[in-house]
Amino acid sequence: MPVIVNLDVMLARRKVRSKALAEAIGITESNLSLLKSGKVKGVRFSTLAAICRYLECEPGDILAYEISDDDLRLDDSE
Amino acid sequence: MVYYHNKFSSNRKKTLSDSYILPPRKAFICRMAGVVFLLVATIWGGATVSQSIMPGWSLACSDSGACHPDVDPGALLPDAERASVSSDPAARARFAAYAARPRVRAGLAGLILFDEVFLIFLFVAVGLTLRRLGGAGGPVLARALPWLKRGALSAVLWAIVQPLTDSLRAMLLFPGTPSGASWYIALDLTVAGPAMLLAIAAYATAWALEAGIRAERDLATFV
User: Does A19 fall in a domain?
Assistant: yes
Per the CB < 8 Å rule, is B222 touching A41? yes
Say what the pLDDT of residue B9 is. 41
Neighbouring C-beta atoms of residue A77, cutoff 10 Å: 4
* Residue in A16, A26, A40 closest to B11 by CB: A26
Residue A59 inside a domain? The answer is yes
Residue B65, pLDDT score: 72
pLDDT value for A74: 57
Residue A73 falls within a domain, yes or no?
no
The span from the CA of A18 to the CA of B145, in Å, is 40
A32 at B interface, C-beta within 8 A:
yes
**Which residues between 203 and 222 in chain B have a beta carbon less than 8 angstroms from any beta carbon of chain A?**
218, 221-222
Of A16, A20, A44, the CB nearest to B11: A44
Would you say residue A71 lies in a domain?
Answer: no
pTM of the model: 0.69
Return the pLDDT at B88.
87
Residue B116, pLDDT score:
92
Burial class (CB in 10 A: 0-12, 13-18, 19+), A61: middle
A-chain CB neighbours of B218 within 8 Å are 41
pLDDT at position A12: 95
Q: Within a domain: residue A75?
A: no
A76 falls within a domain: no
- State residue B20's pLDDT score: 56
The pLDDT value recorded for residue B10 is 42
Using a CB-CB cut-off of 8 Å, the residues of chain A touching B5 are 24
Range of the domain at A19: 4-66
pLDDT for A39: 86
The answer to whether residue A16 neighbours chain B at the CB level (below 8 Å) is yes
Chain B contact for A31 (CB, 8 A cutoff): yes
Q: Are residues A54 and B5, on separate chains, in Cβ contact within 8 Å?
A: no
Q: Give the pLDDT confidence score for residue B1 in this predicted structure.
A: 40
Task: Give the model's pLDDT for residue B63.
Answer: 75
Residues of chain B with pLDDT under 70: 1-20, 59
The CATH number linked to A40 is: 1.10.260.40
pLDDT in tens, A17-66: 999 999 999 999 999 999 999 888 889 999 999 999 999 999 999 999 98
Residue A29 lies in a domain: yes
Q: Does A50 touch chain B (CB under 8 A)?
A: yes
Q: Does B14 touch chain A (CB under 8 A)?
A: no
The total number of structural domains that make up chain A: 1
CB of B8 within 8 Å of a chain A CB? The answer is: yes
- Nearest by CB to residue A47, choosing from B1, B11, B221, is B11
Q: What is the phi-psi region of residue B28: left when phi exceeds 0, alpha when psi lies from -120 to 50, beta otherwise?
A: alpha
CB contact under 8 A, B221 and A40: yes
Q: What is the pLDDT of residues B153-185, one digit of tens each?
A: 999 999 889 889 999 999 999 999 888 888 888
